[in-house]
Structure 1
Amino acid sequence: MAQIDWDSLGFDAYRTRTVVLAHYRDGAWSDIQTTETFSLTIDPFTQGLHYAISCFEGLKVFRQKDGSIIMFRPEKNAARMARSARFLGLPEPSEEMFIKMCELCVKNNMEFLPPYGHQASLYLRPLLFAPHPQMQLVPYPEVTLAVMCAPAGSYYGAHLRSAAAVIPGDYDRAAPKGTGSYKLSANYAGTFVPYKIAHEQGYAELLYLNSATRQFVDEFGSSNFFGIKGGNTYVTPLSDSVLPSITNMTLQECAADFGLKVEKRPVPLEELAEFDEAGGCGTAVVITPMSHIDMKPVLAEPTVSRSFRYEEDGAVGPWCTKLYKRITGIQFGEIEDIHGWCHKI
């Protein structure tokens, strides 16, 4: 087994052993290949470089309490990648092919799968991109699907600790009727600079409003938004510019199992003041409870126009705790998987 400090893992690129590849050209997919060469040779005119014609997924693999190895809801990631590919005009991998390549990536990198008991997982990153060299602004039916992996711990370096977020008044995430609901590589590029500014000010997250009117909550830069209202309702935004998060979908089902009312609807900015708890949710972060959310007219300047407080810094509310323990308990095999979410390898 690789000499890794499983308790100190963060969330970043990691040189593992094998990458799994498949290519679509001339109307058909190639055989699935594996390579231990951690590099790709591409043409300098590749569409994926010039026009960001690429999409990706993120899913996790867990070693469970009884020794089983599972992927969590991979069929949902397969469906979401296919949807993103269709939006880009790219050939889409089938669910069977997607899952087969993910399984092969796990089996060929088994020494990087964290043991049970360390609150860590093997993160899979399937990447679909257009390698064809061209400058014309039209899709070309040729793609490469690469599945790579990295051992992963907490996205922020601590498990289930509340953090601060900021609403940047001078940045938007996605345009109406644009790309926001697809997991495209290009969607993340515009968040790098505002994240750098926010992190330097002590904020862990950026919370974006809808760009058309800036009157409704959309989502965080890395994950979906949810709030707990009145101690009995799970609320998450309904917006055509929000990524359909598989973790959020799962949490909604867990919330319903607990007897919470689930509301997926537009969330007015003013409603942030009415939530008992608020957080972000996604594959990488699982749940990130928010201690408070500030509003800043200009992100780089010191003025805070308003602040919404939910917890003391670092503290976590009861429903964020329950939901986090439920989803991670299922993933690690500590709680029965009554919904059939765990795909055994």
Structure 2
Amino acid sequence: MADLSTDQVLAALEGFVDAELGQGLVEAGCVENLQVDAGRIQLECVLPFACGSRHAALKAELETLLKQSFPSVSVEVQVSQRIDAHPSAKKLPGLAGVRNIIAVASGKGGVGKSTTTVNLALALAAEGAHVGILDADIYGPSQGMMLGVAEGERPETAEEKYFRPIERHGIQSMSMSYLVDENTPMVWRGPMVSGAMQQLLNQTLWQDLDYLLIDMPPGTGDIQLTLAQRVPVTAAIIVTTPQDIALLDAKKGIEMFRKVDIPVLGVVENMSVHICSNCGHEEALFGAGGGERIADDYDTELLGQLPLALAIREQTDAGKPTVIAEPDSSHAQRYREVARKAGALLAKKVQSAGNSIPNIAVELD
């Protein structure tokens, strides 16, 4: 076994395909620090997305594979993750303290986008990532309540021009609700709202974030266009429900991001089925298969299907979303599956060329 080479070890690993990454670990460049000597193989598998819950199982699988291929050597595999920055397709300057920005959007309101955003953020954190949330819904901010931030709590300031994000459950966050009374309506025109969103984003001292999730307002208006033109968004996730009217608006959201060169990682179908809190019976109240159809139509991914469950609503309203309130529940595991899949897709994202902004013409009859 003295003649064992690194090429032989890599050849043995060549066919090992990671289920969530969807490609071989060697092909993806995940095998690092490979050392081979007489009677010993050492290597590190560095995954490019947040998946801490899978490290132990992957380590065992790789060690078993190598021991079967080379029975007379000892094998030591270390599994870790490193989430690199993926620059936006629009070549905008990056945001200090943030490696990747993901916009979570919907074409219409009422589909559970904010609930999905906060649980995805907590799921990514549970998988070992550093995560933040920007609540970009200036008119109706809700992330503060969902994260359990007390009414009246204000962010600290630094250098008289920056905010320090408020941290709850290991998540850094910034929201307009931290700056005004919760009963104060934001009676602002579009340019003021867009300016406020940019200030919240750029004047917050984000600290070493792998992912910043932006909880977008519904629709395809001022905030969305400002985000596309001036913020280095890495990719977007679309949240919808299975019903036809929601899918119609979700299609508009996908088309909008495509027109401004922001890749759509996939679709999350929320409220996919109703689960009775008494007997556990599942029923598709809003129809079935809508998320899968829209994913097929637009050549994107169905990231996951989330239930309409009383517990999810109650826990989020109480400031302890499902992923931390019941981390071992089936609901929390679904959020973590969506988070891992989205992270893996982001790691594989192919940068699109061009830096085009759609021309918007207003004609008066």
TM-score range, shorter-chain basis? under 0.3
> Of Structure 1 and Structure 2, which has the larger fraction of its residues in strand?
1
Structure with the greater alpha carbon radius of gyration: 2
TM value normalised by structure 2: 0.26
> Of Structure 1 and Structure 2, which has the larger fraction of its residues in helix?
2
TM value normalised by structure 1: 0.27
